[in-house]
Amino acid sequence: MSHAPVTVVGIGADGWPGLAPAAREELCRAEVLVGGPRQLDLLPPECAGERVAWPSPLRPAVPGLLAAHAGRRVCVLASGDPMFFGIGRTLVDVLGDPARLRVLPHPSSVSYACARLGWPLDDTEVLSLVGRPLAALTAALHHGRRLLLLSAGAGTPAEVAALLAARGFGPSRMTVLEQLGGERERHITGTAEGWETPPGDALNVIAVECRRAPAAPRLPLTPGLPDDAFEHDGQLTKRHVRAATLAALAPAPGELLWDVGGGSGSIGIEWMRAHRSCRAVAVERDPVRAERIVRNADALGVPALRVVTGAAPASLAGLPVPDAVFVGGGLTAPGLLTACWEALPEGGRLVANTVTLESEALLTEWYRRHGGELTRLAVAHAVPVGGFTGWRQAMPVTQWSVVKAAGPAV
C-alpha cells in the first residue's frame, strides 16, 4: 500500500454549498472519491475522480479498498466530523499512522443538534446506535439527563421510544432532528410513551430529556444495585457483598474482567456499568444460568458482556488477558485458582469470595503465599420477631483480594 496520505472530508446535509474552500479543492483534485452513495450524490460534476461506494460490511473491506487504489489521490467522504463516531478512526487503525491521514472536518450532527436545542455540548451525553445494540442505551438512563443518540435509520426513533417506555422512562421528552443543516431539516417532538410518529428521514439524531416514571426503579451509578434488579435463582452475590467486591476489583476505563462462576452475572454487569469502555467475560457452566446472564446484561444496559458457557478452568483457555479476575464459585475445582493467577499480568487484581470452610482454607493458603487482604464480610438484616424487630444474620463471606506483584507465578 502506498504511503501517500488519504484525505477525509466531512460533509453535511447541506452538501457542496456547505463545504469550505479547502475541502472543495481536495475533492476536485482527487483521483478516487470514496463514500456512501448518499454522500457521493452530493458532489457536483467538477469532482471528476472515480467514484467508489463503500461495500457492506464496511470495516473489513477498508484495507483491500485502499490497497486497490494505492498510489492514487484518494479522498474519503464522511458525515460531519470524521473523527466523531466516524470513518476516521477506522482509517487510522488501518493505515497505522495518523500522519498518513489528512482530516477536514465539518460540524457534526451533534454540534448542530445542540445549537438547535440550546443544549451545552459539554453537558450532553452522546451515544451511537449505529451498528450497536439498542439495549446499551439503558445504562445511560438517569432522571434529568440529556442524551443525543446517533440514529441507525428511520425506524430508530420508534425503537428508542419503546425501550424508554419499557425501562420506566416513558415520560421522557424526545425530539427527532432530521437532515440537520440541510434544506429539508425537520424537528419532531413528543414523549416516549406517546410516540406514534411514523418513520421519517433516515438521516436523524434523537434528543432525549430523561424523565423517570414515579414507579420505575432507580438504578444508581455506584456498585451494589438492588438484588431484585437481577433475574436470578439464588446464585447471586448479594448487594452489600457485591459493593465490597466491586470496590476490591477496582474497575477502570477500558479494563477487562473475568467473572468466573458467573451465576446471575451481577459482578460482570456492574463492572461494565462502571464505564462504557469496561469489558467483561462471564464464565458459567450451567447453560440455563448462562442464558439468564445474557438477559440481565441486556436489561441493565451492557449487552456487550460476553458469556462463555462451560466449566472452569478449561473454559478459560484462549480468553483475552484480564486486568482483573473475580472467582465467585467453584474455588475447589482442581487448578482453577492457579489458572486465574497465571492469566493475570503484573498489577492485575484477583478477588475470590466463599462461604464454605473448605474454600476458606484454600484462600487462607493462597493469602499466606501471595499476601493481599483476607476479609470476612458479615451482613445482618432487621426482620420482624413477633411484635418486635431483630437481626437475621446472612452467611458470612470470606473474601481474598490481591494485586499480583512482579515475579514468577507460584
Distances (CA, A) of 180 to 58, 77, 84, 151, 185: 24, 17, 16, 13, 5
Give the model confidence (pLDDT) of 173-218 as tens digits. Answer: 999 999 999 999 999 999 999 999 999 999 999 999 999 999 999 9
The three cell numbers locating residue 79: 458525515
Asked whether the domain spanning 227-403 has the same topology as the one spanning 6-107, the reply is no
Instruction: For the chain, give every domain's residue range.
Output: 6-107, 110-209, 227-403
Give the model confidence (pLDDT) of 100-146 as tens digits. Answer: 899 999 999 999 999 999 999 999 999 999 989 999 999 999 999 99
Give the model confidence (pLDDT) of 64-108 as tens digits. Answer: 999 999 889 999 999 999 999 989 999 999 888 888 899 999 999
Q: What is the pLDDT of residue 97?
A: 86
Q: What is the pLDDT of residue 318?
A: 94
pLDDT at 408 over 60: no
227-403: CATH topology? Rossmann fold (3.40.50)
Cβ partners under 8 Å of residue 137, min gap 6? 127, 129, 147, 149, 160, 163, 301
Hey, what CATH class is 6-107 in?
alpha beta
Is the bond preceding 57 in cis, omega lying within 30 degrees of 0? yes
Cα–Cα distance, 108 to 386 (Å, whole number): 65
Share of the chain above pLDDT 70, in %: 98
CATH for 110-209 is 3.30.950.10
Assess contact for 267 and 246: CB atoms under 8 A: yes
Q: What is the pLDDT of residue 96?
A: 87
The three cell numbers locating residue 361: 482454607
Give the model confidence (pLDDT) of 366-385 as tens digits. Answer: 999 999 999 999 999 999 99
Cα–Cα distance, 51 to 12 (Å, whole number): 18
Assess contact for 221 and 251: CB atoms under 8 A: no
Full-model pTM = 0.90
Q: What is the pLDDT of residue 370?
A: 96
